[in-house]
Structure 1
Amino acid sequence: MQTLASITVLLLIAALIHEGAAIWCYRCTSATPGCAEKFNWRGIGFLGEQCPESDDICVKLTERRGTQETITRDCLSALKFRRDIPADKYEGCRPASQDLILANYVNHTIKEHDVKRDYFTDTTYCFCFLDHRCNGVSGLKSSLLASVAALLLVIFSTFQSN
């Protein structure tokens, strides 16, 4: 029993230590077949790409205006040019932040440029970093590590009850 517990602890530690290995994320937009709300990784033809930074986060960005919806799945480092990224980037979904000075000094009447970035009425960021390719599902899936830990907890509880 003691050896099983020590092996389990060593496996959990080995799963947590992966410094230098960047996360893999799906990188596509809803204009790509299979990358819309009903995600189909076979439709986009690849299993994701490794993010450029070692501490990157996978992001699913959903922008809506009426019935029009645009979904972007990417690494957070690729979206750094946006000024409406929420400050809280922990796992979960949250609305975009407001940038009050965005395009404050632009003075032209071409509304197609959308310099104030106000075309979409609802913008939501979903962040995940506990699983590779976690930005593929419509909601955020639970961590594989948490699932393994729950399974090990069930196994330990059955061994201790016997």
Structure 2
Amino acid sequence: MQAQIIPLTLLLLLAVFIQQGDAIWCYRCTSATPGCADHFNWRGIGYLGEQCPEPNDICVKVTERRGAQETITRDCLSALSFRTDIPADKYEGCRPAAVDWHLAHYVNHTIKEHDVKRDYFTNTTFCFCFLDHRCNGASSKSMALGLTMFLASVVAVMLH
């Protein structure tokens, strides 16, 4: 049994080190693009994603809701760096947006369409993933299921 575990462990470590230098590939689209809504269809958007500009980037799916209206943005985290509501914890999984109390504190105009306080949407959720290329195409439930299956397989290999 020990002879089988050592080559498998070496293979996993080799795979980790080979992909470490490459940037992750993420889907980059909004729900205004056909196929990029909640029921994701990569054939509908017509491409297999893009490589993120940063080497240690993270794929992100941002879901913003107000009543029945829902806007979904899939992108690399580095491309969303202008947003001040990104949660501090960027590990795998979904979490609500951070609240920036100082956003537009010194702006005083009445043009609602500018949304300088970023308060139009009542519910904003960020889903982060980086364990697989193009992982921001999945829903949050399937991302959690994939992570659970991966961890279960690693534990099963270690126990045998």
- TM-score (normalised: structure 1): 0.88
Partner residue in 1 for 2:114: 113
- Cα displacement (A) at 1:147: 6.4
Identity %: 69
Gaps of at least 5 residues in structure 1 are 158-162
Distance across 2 between alignment mates of 1:45 and 1:55 = 26
Distance across 2 between alignment mates of 1:147 and 1:22 = 26
SS at match of 1:103: coil
Distance across 1 between alignment mates of 2:110 and 2:58 = 37
Q: 1:147 to 1:134 in 2, by over 3 A?
A: farther
Letter in 2 for 1:15: A
What root-mean-square deviation, in Å, do the aligned CA atoms of Structure 1 and Structure 2 show? 1.8
Distance across 1 between alignment mates of 2:5 and 2:100 = 51
Residues 1:24 and 2:29 are matched in the alignment: no
- Cα displacement (A) at 1:6: 1.7
Structure number with greater Rg is: 1
- Deviation string 1:78-99 (CA, Å, 9 cap, x unpaired) is 0000010011111111111111
SS at match of 2:128: strand
- Cα displacement (A) at 1:151: 6.3
- Cα displacement (A) at 1:3: 3.1
Distance across 1 between alignment mates of 2:33 and 2:9 = 42
Partner residue in 2 for 1:70: 71
SS at match of 2:13: helix
Partner residue in 2 for 1:84: 85
The answer to whether the 8 Å contact 2:5/2:157 transfers is: no
The answer to whether the 8 Å contact 2:103/2:116 transfers is: yes
Distance across 2 between alignment mates of 1:101 and 1:26 = 31
- Cα displacement (A) at 1:25: 0.7
Letter in 1 for 2:8: T
SS at match of 2:20: coil
Letter in 1 for 2:14: A
Distance across 2 between alignment mates of 1:82 and 1:12 = 36
Distance across 1 between alignment mates of 2:28 and 2:42 = 11
Q: How many residues align?
A: 155
Residues 1:123 and 2:124 are matched in the alignment: yes
Gaps of at least 5 residues in structure 2 are none
- Cα displacement (A) at 1:108: 1.1
**What does residue range 1-80 of structure 1 map to in structure 2 within 5 Å?**
1-17=1-17, 18-80=19-81
Distance across 2 between alignment mates of 1:29 and 1:39 = 11
Partner residue in 2 for 1:160: none
Partner residue in 1 for 2:94: 93
The answer to whether the 8 Å contact 2:62/2:73 transfers is: yes
The answer to whether the 8 Å contact 2:23/2:51 transfers is: yes
Q: Which runs of 4+ in 1 moved over 6 A?
A: none
Q: 1:85 to 1:120 in 2, by over 3 A?
A: same
